[in-house]
Amino acid sequence: MENKDFYAGLKAGLSIAIGYFPVALTFGLLAKTAGLSIIEATAMSMFVYAGASQYIALSLIAASVHPLLIVTNTFIVNIRHFLMTASLSEKMVPEKRWVKAVYSFGITDETFSVLATSKKEKITTAYAFGVALIAYGSWVIFTTVGHIIGANLPLFLQAAMSIALYAMFVGLLVPSMKGNRKVVMLAGLAATIQSFFYFTGLLSTGWAILVSTLVASIAIEMVYVNHEKRTKSTYVREEGV
Amino acid sequence: MGAIYWWMLLGMALATYIPRMIPLTFLEGKELPPIVSGVLRNIPYAVLGALIFPAILFVQEGNLVFGIIGMVVAFLIAFLGGSVMSVVLGTIGVLAIYSLFT
């Protein structure tokens, strides 16, 4: 049972691994041009494991920004994961704290999306490890490969593969949208708010995602709670509450 | 790059790990008010909306058509019932052909 879940997790995580391939490869290449050694580049992917923050760090390193500022920036960019892991904790089976502490290292935007939109009622630890492991492996290995070979991937393929992660998000979202108005409204409202931040430049991407997600999730929940109250009110009155 | 790089890396690692670890590890078994758990259950779909749009349009800098084709193809394959993997590979395939001929 445990093994079966682990392999199912690996399989579910395969699309993430494919999506990470070009991103990690490019990161390895850019790290090299920013002056990082192969060890330093690989270590960043191994220990930090956060795509956007790593890219930002490279540009800040190149601009000789103070390391403390780079760390602060990393925290700000990753604050949104508070929200995601809080949401995910509702779906995970109970487990020893230290085990959860281990696999929580593997929660990224992508692994979160795969786990959170899974059809399973509850997600087992083995499944989470499967998803996290294949994604992490791809990220670390292809960072190293990128540092070594870099731009040797044909340009048209590099361009085409830049869509991979977004295509994966679409592939995860659309099945849940079908016949579910609440999901359509959640995604639509969050995308609208995010677009507002994107085009006005009012917030940086990390904060914008956090705010869009939170506002949409709360607003839509309010609409649905009020709606349920209205439809239930007669029943409640009969009960004499 | 010397020792300072490794200190920075440690700081970055903690700054990334802590937001991932704390809620997942310490929220278990806590009974949350229904409205809070309702909001938390909404988050995956809202996050996906915010992650996809509008960023998908701008994956290739200065080439909006590329992003639009990618978005339409991905939605189409997913809507027709394709698995996540076929959405990913199908969209890459179409865009590879597009990039090859432009």
Q: What is the pLDDT of residues A151-160, one digit of tens each?
A: 667 878 878 8
Contact A116 B44 (CB under 8 A): yes
A229 in the same domain as A131: no
**Chain B residue closest in CA terms to A157:** B96
Contact B54 A14 (CB under 8 A): no
Give residues with Cβ within 8 angstroms of A59, minimum separation 6.
A34
B86 in the same domain as B45: yes
A116 in the same domain as A68: yes
What burial class does residue A226 get, using C-beta atoms within 10 Å of its C-beta: 0-12 exposed, 13-18 middle, 19+ buried? exposed
At which of A175, A194, A229 does a domain end?
A175
Contact B49 A156 (CB under 8 A): no
B36 in the same domain as B25: no
Following DSSP, what letter does each residue of A97-128 receive, concatenated? HHHHHHHGGG--HHHHHHHHT-S-SSB-HHHH
Give the residue numbers spanning the domain of B10. Answer: 1-30
Taking the C-alpha atoms of residue A173 and residue A187, their distance in angstroms, rounded to an integer, is: 8
Classify residue A79 by its DSSP letter. T
A207 in the same domain as A159: no
B16 in the same domain as B47: no
Helix H or strand E encompassing B13: helix B3-26
A201 in the same domain as A157: no
At which of A175, A195, A210 does a domain end?
A175
Number of domains in chain A: 2
Cis amide leading into B34 (omega within 30): no
Q: Which residue has the higher pLDDT, B65 or A153?
A: B65
Give the residue numbers spanning the domain of A42. Answer: 1-175
**Chain B residue closest in CA terms to A43:** B9
Shortest Cα–Cα distance, B11 to chain A (Å): 6
pLDDT of residue B1: 66
Structure tokens at A2: 């445990």
pLDDT band, very low/low/confident/very high, at A232 (cuts 50, 70, 90): low
B68 SS3 class = helix
Closest CA to A91 of A56, A63, A128, A58: A128
The vertex-A213 CA angle with A208 and A215, nearest 5°, equals: 95
Residue A68: alpha-carbon gap to chain centroid: 25
Shortest Cα–Cα distance, B67 to chain A (Å): 8
Contact B88 A15 (CB under 8 A): yes
Q: CA separation (Å) from A65 to A58, A59, A61, A70, B79?
A: 10, 9, 6, 7, 45
Report the complex ipTM. Answer: 0.93
A86 in the same domain as A40: yes
Number of domains in chain B: 2
pLDDT at B87 over 60: yes
At which of A175, A207, A222 does a domain end?
A175
Taking the C-alpha atoms of residue A132 and residue A150, their distance in angstroms, rounded to an integer, is: 25
Structure tokens at A159: 């361009």
Closest CA to A213 of A203, A225, A201: A203
pLDDT at A238 over 50: no
B58 in the same domain as B16: no
Shortest Cα–Cα distance, B100 to chain A (Å): 6
A154 in the same domain as A48: yes
Classify residue A90 by its DSSP letter. T
Size of the A and B interface in Cβ pairs below 8 Å: 288
Question: In one letter, which amino acid is A241?
Answer: V
pLDDT at B71 over 50: yes
A190 in the same domain as A83: no
Contact B84 A15 (CB under 8 A): yes
Cβ pair A214, A83 in contact under 8 A: yes
B11 in the same domain as B46: no
What burial class does residue A90 get, using C-beta atoms within 10 Å of its C-beta: 0-12 exposed, 13-18 middle, 19+ buried? middle
Contact B99 A67 (CB under 8 A): no
Residues of chain A with C-beta less than 8 angstroms from the C-beta of B55: 166, 198
Cβ pair A104, A85 in contact under 8 A: yes
A137 in the same domain as A32: yes
Q: Which pLDDT tens digit goes with each residue over A89-128?
A: 989 999 999 999 999 999 999 999 999 999 888 999 999 9
B26 in the same domain as B39: no
A100 in contact with B, Cβ within 8 Å: yes
Among the listed ranges A55-64, A79-88, A164-173, B47-56, which one has the minimum average pLDDT value?
A: A55-64
Shortest Cα–Cα distance, B78 to chain A (Å): 5
B93 in the same domain as B71: yes
A167 in the same domain as A76: yes
Does residue A153 come out as left (phi exceeding 0), alpha (psi in the -120 to 50 range) or beta?
beta
Mean pLDDT of chain A: 90
B52 in the same domain as B90: yes
B52 in the same domain as B92: yes
A136 in the same domain as A71: yes
> Any idea which residue has 């920013």 for tokens?
A34
A206 in the same domain as A112: no
Taking the C-alpha atoms of residue A162 and residue B41, their distance in angstroms, rounded to an integer, is: 29
